[in-house]
A and B are shown apart, each in its own frame.
Chain A
Amino acid sequence: MSGARSKLSTRGRGLLAAIALGLVLTAWSSHAQADDREERFSRASAALDKGDTATALLDLEALADRGVLHPDVAYSRGLAYAMRARSPSAEPGDLGRAAEGFEEALRLRPDDRDAEQALDLVHAEVARRRARMDKNDTVVRPSLDRVLVTTLSPVAWVILAIFASLLLAFGLLARRRERRFVRIAGKVLVPTSLVALAVLVPAAAMSRSLTETRREGVVIVPEIGMRDDDGQPTTAPDIPESTLIEVGERRNDVLLVRWGSYEGWVPAESVRVIAQPHPEG
């Protein structure tokens, strides 16, 4: 009996030791990853200070490839591309990639003033270069549906729709009550909440659909022309570099994009999608 107990306790100790080892390894691995992240970032920053954009980009792109989502990493990546864009080793699309880095930094930390200023400078440089090439860029504004739907978050639209639904329920019940003012309130609430639902439910559904199926991306080539489903050029003007666009589904080597009210297909390699944190819930 005591032998069995001692055997059990030996097993239990072994299990505990294994769990402890696993926890230690996990913590060590996480710590090592954080260390590696810090080290790469510091190295990239030092290289940027020296003007060595190639080395800096190696580390910063490696961090991006590992899925590191940090506004400082995105900002430094944008900075590295912007610096390379004005150097002799500039490559086509550098300004677009720089804009993408700053956009990502702003998505992660909306109050990042440096990123905002740098993004404005990149846009100014793109405009300057295009003006030199006699390119007249069309001002393209987002379509009204996008403006309305993106005013609130999908969750806010859903909550508003549910609130309107609750008002409708209350109105339906109140219409049958004896008290006069309650009855009148019910008679007013029912049509009002129905109208509100007619607006809020489609807005909530569209907002949710956009969140699930669309991402944001930045044009990283000097300019791209949209093509329709048959591969024929559309009437949409060419999209200039560093433009923020809406990115939809991908089919082989082409991406469905929306720019203002224009929609069409563009080569996948001409757009870099802005990374976003995974949603909760």
Chain B
Amino acid sequence: MRSPRSSSRRAVARVIALFAMLFAFALLPQFASLARAAGGITASTQASGTMVEVDQPFTVTLELDSDESIGPVTSPSFDPPAGVSVRGPSFGMSERTTFTNGVATRVASARISYTLVASAPGKFTFKSPTATAQGRSWSGQTVTVEVVPQGSGPGAGVGPGPTPFFLPTPGFNDPFTSRDDEEAPSARDLELQNAPDDDYFLHAVADKQAAVVGEQITYSVYLYFRVSYEMSERSDPKYADFLRFPILTDPASTKSVYTRVNDKRYGARLVERVALIPLNAGKLHVGTMSARFKGRQIGSGVLRQSNDVEVDVTEPPANGRPAGYVVGDVGQYALTASVSPRKVAQGGSVSVSVRIEGVGNVPSEIKPPVVAGAEWLTPHRKDDLTIKDGRVSGSRTLEYVVRLDRAGKLDLGTLELPYFDPTSNQYEVAKVALGPVDVDPTTPTDADVKRAQNKDGDDPLARLPHTRPRLTAFAPARPLTLPPWALWGGVAVPPMFALFLLGLGRARRAAAVRRGAPAAAARAKLREALGDAKAAEKAADAKAHLGAIERATHLAIELGTGVKSRGLRLDEIEPTLIERDVAPAVAKEAAELLSQCDALRFAPDDGEIATKDLHSRAVKLTKKLAP
């Protein structure tokens, strides 16, 4: 019998074990990551198939994986056995990040691929390709591929791979895993003798090499491929000289079929189909379709262009051409028409609806019958053209308003549409009789009489001015133009010249200072100060007058002795000037003048009289100090 204590211990142990397992499970990705980190790069080798046919390309790829950056991969080498030709290598680098239990795992991969073609059957064992990364050489395991004679393999070579940009294709029919289409007539029709490119190319075909103007030509472009590809940047032909009606509106709806080119297996897929109606006679060129391709064996953004299709277009035969035939009216057409009402008053209108229906580029115009008393106005047209069974067909309806001016039973005549039928190679004429309309005579009203007298009253062109019998004198006024530089030169030169003048003046003043002409500058300032003093005296501005006298005195001292007297106290001025060999009387006069100026600033009442005296003294003093 178990004791309660031991059972509780076991329960605790179970819980601990459970937590330990959960913890270990949670840590697994980290351990894996650690293991990968410890191991660095892992290398593996794969072949694109284990069984291929003779002359069928297949790939052998060395893949290096690491959870760190692999860095540059160098020195790739591969030594295939005899009887196997090799092309490549091609490089591919990728990085992917996965999240497991909230842990992000990053894996960087490098792929080195070689495309191989075996020329004879047999079982080949390939040593792994080698490459150097992170300072050491890497290689994977050996791979074995069995090469079987042509036509006996499963076709597991290089598959069609990812699809063009407008595919993924529901129900994509892989030409290399299914042989069903090989016997299909369309596949046989697509067989070619020569391939412009080994692996993939665009091939354009027209259903006929010769046609008449207006006859439909069906133009198709197929993509032939035997490697993985992606198609982008598709550019359609110009279709100059043709009217175009798209037949293939959804390229994703087409399926690939298996066919042979130069006795090699290819996938072929319809990428463009249009109905073209030639508009002119001559050797017309449809133009080329182009697209860019990328893929492992292709590279990136490789441009491929289809062949240009030339069609010899002629006019329908002149023999037997009915009157009124318009070049371009080709097909099989029928005419129906309705007239409503059948009874109108004179001067009234009836509606004639004409429907042209058939196969071909249905004519958009028809010549109405000429009947006296009936005026056919410009019709209103409705188009309903579609593609049916690959052929342009449908109808155009022309709604006419016919004004009837003559009373009586008026037969509107017969509408005729001559056309050329390319199937029977002869002209036909579609006809429809419009029948009679009863036009009741009406008593003319005053307005009718007036209108009859002025028949062209509604027609603006009836009032056109007269002709001119001879040329009058005329001298054409030729518009004046200026040379191209006139604007920029005329706009740029004046301000630049002004800036030049300003710069020149500034440079000259700077040069004068550099040349040691401060004396001249100071003298100019002295003159300016004396001038200001005079102007202030005239303006009876005592303060300004005193300031100017004081400035002139300081400038005269500086000019005569080099002493900057503004920095001295008033009592220091006289001894300083005497030290600089200025006559004591002049030095005393200067000191007194400056001290009086200083004192008068605070005695404005006597300013006017005092400044007059000061001004004359200042002029004399400046002459003594700076003669």
Q: How many residues of A contact B (CB 8 A)?
A: 61
Interchain CB contact under 8 A, A45 and B467: yes
Asked if residues A125 and B469 are in contact (CB atoms below 8 Å), the reply is no
Of the residues B380, B470, B487, B498, contact of A41 by C-beta under 8 Å:
B470
Q: Scan residues 483-529 of chain B and give those whose CB is less than 8 A from a CB of chain A.
A: 483-484, 486-487, 490-495, 497-499, 501-502, 505
The residues of B that contact A121 with a CB separation of less than 8 Å are 460-461, 463-464
Whether B478 contacts A279 by the Cβ 8 Å rule is yes
Beta-carbon contact of A72 and B491 below 8 Å: no
Chain B residues near A132 (CB-CB < 8 A):
377-378, 401
Q: Which A163-189 residues have a C-beta within 8 angstroms of B?
A: 164-166, 168-170, 172-173, 176
The answer to whether the Cβ of A248 comes within 8 Å of any Cβ in the partner chain is no
**In the complex, A49→B505 CA distance in Å?**
77
CB atoms of B495 and A165 under 8 A apart = yes
A214 at the interface (CB under 8 A from B): no
Assess whether A49 is in contact with B471, with CB atoms less than 8 Å apart.
Answer: no
B480 in the interface (beta carbon within 8 A): yes
**CB of B7 closer than 8 Å to a CB of A:** no
Contact between B476 and A165, CB atoms less than 8 A apart: no
A108, B477: Cα distance in complex, Å: 8
Query: Which single member of B458, B467, B491 contacts A49 (CB below 8 Å)?
Result: B467
Complex contact A169–B467 (CB within 8 A): no
Task: Provide the bound-state CA to CA distance between A49 and B464, in Å.
Answer: 12
Known: A70-B474, A155-B481, A281-B483. A173 touches B502 (CB 8 A): yes
Q: In the complex, are the beta carbons of B474 and A155 less than 8 A apart? A: no
CB of B461, distance to nearest CB on chain A (Å): 5
| Complex alpha-carbon distance, A42 and B502, angstroms | 68
Q: Is B568 an interface residue (CB 8 A)?
A: no
Interface pair A134/B380, CB less than 8 Å apart:
yes
Asked whether B171 is an interface residue with its Cβ less than 8 Å from the other chain, the reply is no
Shortest Cβ distance from B510 into chain A, in angstroms?
A: 15
**Contacting pair B491 A201 (CB below 8 A):** yes
Q: How far is the CA of A13 from the CA of B43 in the complex (A)?
A: 101
Tell me the bound Cα distance from A134 to B482 in angstroms.
48
Contacts A158-B486, A172-B495: A82 and B464 contacting too (C-beta < 8 A)? yes
Task: List residues of chain A with CB within 8 A of the CB of B481.
Answer: 154-155, 211, 279-281
Determine whether A208 belongs to the interface, using a CB cutoff of 8 Å to chain B.
yes
Question: Which A residues are CB-close (under 8 A) to B460?
Answer: 121-122, 124-125, 128
Q: Which of A3-11, A15-23, A73-81 contacts B (4 or more CB under 8 A)?
A: A73-81
Q: In the assembled complex, which residues on chain A have CB atoms less than 8 Å from the CB atom of B484?
A: 208
| Cβ–Cβ < 8 Å partners of B491 in chain A | 161-162, 164-165, 197, 201
Residues of A contacting B486 in the complex (Cβ-Cβ under 8 angstroms): 158, 162
CB-CB contacts below 8 Å: B445-468 with A = 458-468
Chain A CB within 8 A of B152 CB: no
A50 CA / B546 CA spacing, docked (Å): 103
- Name the CB-closest residue of A to B496: A169
How long is the Cα–Cα vector from A169 to B478 in the complex, in angstroms? 33
Does any Cβ of A come within 8 Å of B479's Cβ?
Answer: yes
- Whether B482 and A72, one on each chain, are in contact in the complex, defined by CB atoms closer than 8 angstroms, is no
**Residue of A with least CB distance to B463:** A121
The answer to whether B423 has its CB under 8 Å from any CB of chain A is: no
Let me know if B425 is at the binding interface, CB within 8 A.
no
Fill in one digit per residue for A249-280: 1 if any B CB lies within 8 Å of its CB, else 0.
Answer: 00001000000000000000000000011111
Return chain A residues, CB-CB under 8 Å to B458: 128
Closest 4 CB pairs of A and B: A169-B494, A162-B490, A169-B498, A124-B460
Pick 12 A–B contacts, CB within 8 A, sort by A: A45-B469, A79-B464, A114-B466, A125-B460, A128-B458, A168-B498, A169-B495, A172-B499, A208-B484, A211-B481, A277-B476, A279-B481
A sample of 10 more A-B contacts (CB under 8 A), given A173-B502, A281-B482, is A38-B471, A73-B471, A86-B459, A128-B460, A133-B378, A161-B487, A169-B497, A172-B502, A173-B501, A278-B478
